[in-house]
Amino acid sequence: MTKPKLTTMKQKLKRIVVLLILFIAVTNLLYLSLVPADDDGAPAPNNPRHPQAAAVDDAALAYISRRVVDTWSRREYLVLLGIPSTDDEARRTRRNLQRTTCWRFPGVATRANDFTGAMLVLYVLGRHPSHGYEYSAALLEEASQWNDVVALPMNEGRVTRNKTIGSYGPLGDEADVGVTRKTHMWFDLAVRLFPNARYIAKGDEDIFLRVPLFVAHLRLLPRRGVYMGVHIGTSNFGDKGLPGSRFMIGWCYVLSRDVAEALVSYKPLRRLAYLPYSKERDHEFALLRFHYEDTMVGWVLEKEVKYQPMIYVKVLSCHFHDARNNTGHSQVVPTSMCIHHVQEDDYAALMARFGNDTSPVARVERVSDDTIYPSCN
């Protein structure tokens, strides 16, 4: 009479074991689905959902006080301007010249005004080989004074060319790739850190920017799809057997937030941003035009991502131009907005000329669905 009971007990135990196995399997599956995977085999920080992305951000903001970062989070900036720079005296001089001239225009958010304004400017640096790939004491002092230095957890490439500030030309493949890496990291950081910023821009240390005129033009633009700057074409990669392309030149260009998000979320590009450069990998970097940051941005947006709808805001030479022509004569005019290749003495002179013009009139003309021109009149 006890045999049927024993059989029933065994059946119950089997069912319990099966259910337990199913429970463990489902739990493991759910766990694996929630753990963020690295993209394309790239290091973890490459994945914006990965916990180490927070570690990358923490490293980049290591020399900016927590109070300042909290202040930024409460602000709604119209535009963020990131300027890739290097930890050396010549570039530090340029940073200080900008800080003491054009970043004193009304509307620039700085430590002096508790970071209140339409535009926040941050300098984006990597660890320089001349300091043993550590940040120098002078840089740490500068960062403490101004609270505008983003110290990326990356090494600068070695400069192998004789390019100087205020001149055109390459720095050498390793250093040029480093500039592009910094530029990508800047856009990536800005997208994450400033969720309310409407536009994200990249500029140079050798520009003088008439901030009120620049901001006035931005306020007239659409909120989405914007790619703004001096539109040019190049065949820089012809020696590598690659076709030319068009892009906004790197002195100063602007992406609306959605365009910046599309750029930094492109997986092959994010992978290269964290992949060490070598001659053996040169062609892989060249395919995405990684040797020139401005070319890379245009190529990826137009040819790889094929972002739509894109609105090209094409700035003419009445607004964005070099400080001097080939004969050394000044090209500065009343409509000048972004003046490139300025010399050290030019910053103060330009501020003296334009510093009181704090409410300039801006006009734009939409000539087609995808093209806007800031007016020269």
Sole residue written with tokens 């509307």:
107
pLDDT tens digits, one per residue of 148-183: 999 998 888 676 555 666 666 566 678 889 999 999
Query: 45 or 211: which carries more pLDDT confidence?
Result: 211
**Burial class of residue 48 in the structure, from the number of CB atoms within 10 Å of its CB (0-12 exposed, 13-18 middle, 19+ buried):** middle
Q: Structure tokens of 348?
A: 């103060």
- Per-residue pLDDT, averaged over 22-49, amounts to 43
SS3 category, 319 = coil
* Cβ–Cβ under 8 Å, residues 354 and 210: yes
Query: 357 or 31: which carries more pLDDT confidence?
Result: 357
Rounded (5°) CA angle 204-114-116? 65
Query: 370 or 163: which carries more pLDDT confidence?
Result: 370
Selection from 125, 164, 131 nearest residue 143 by Cα: 125
- Per-residue pLDDT, averaged over 262-290, amounts to 94
Choose the most confident range, by mean pLDDT, from 30-44, 122-136, 297-311: 297-311
- Per-residue pLDDT, averaged over 227-239, amounts to 88
Residues 288 and 278: their CA atoms lie apart, in Å, by 15
Residues 98 and 172: their CA atoms lie apart, in Å, by 26
pLDDT tens digits, one per residue of 79-110: 999 999 999 999 999 999 999 999 999 999 99
Residues 165 and 206: their CA atoms lie apart, in Å, by 7
User: With bands split at pLDDT 50, 70 and 90, how would you rate the model's confidence at 58?
Assistant: confident
Residues 340 and 357: their CA atoms lie apart, in Å, by 19
Say if residue 309 is preceded by a cis peptide, omega within 30 of 0.
yes
Residue 37 DSSP code: P
Q: How many residues does the chain have?
A: 377
Residue ranges per structural domain of the chain: 51-374
Instruction: For residue 47, give the amino acid letter.
Output: N
pLDDT at residue number 370: 98
**CB neighbour list of residue 82: distance below 8 Å, 6 or more residues apart:** 121, 122, 123, 124, 150, 183, 186, 187, 190, 200, 201, 202, 203
- Per-residue pLDDT, averaged over 256-264, amounts to 98
* Global confidence as pTM: 0.84
pLDDT tens digits, one per residue of 183-202: 999 999 999 999 999 999 99
pLDDT at residue number 171: 63
Give DSSP secondary structure letters for 260-276: HHHHHT-HHHHHHHTSP
* Cβ–Cβ under 8 Å, residues 174 and 128: no
Task: Decide if pLDDT at 298 tops 60.
Answer: yes
Mode of pairing for the β-strands spanning 338-340 and 207-209: antiparallel
Residues 146 and 103: their CA atoms lie apart, in Å, by 12
For the domain 51-374, what is the CATH code?
3.90.550
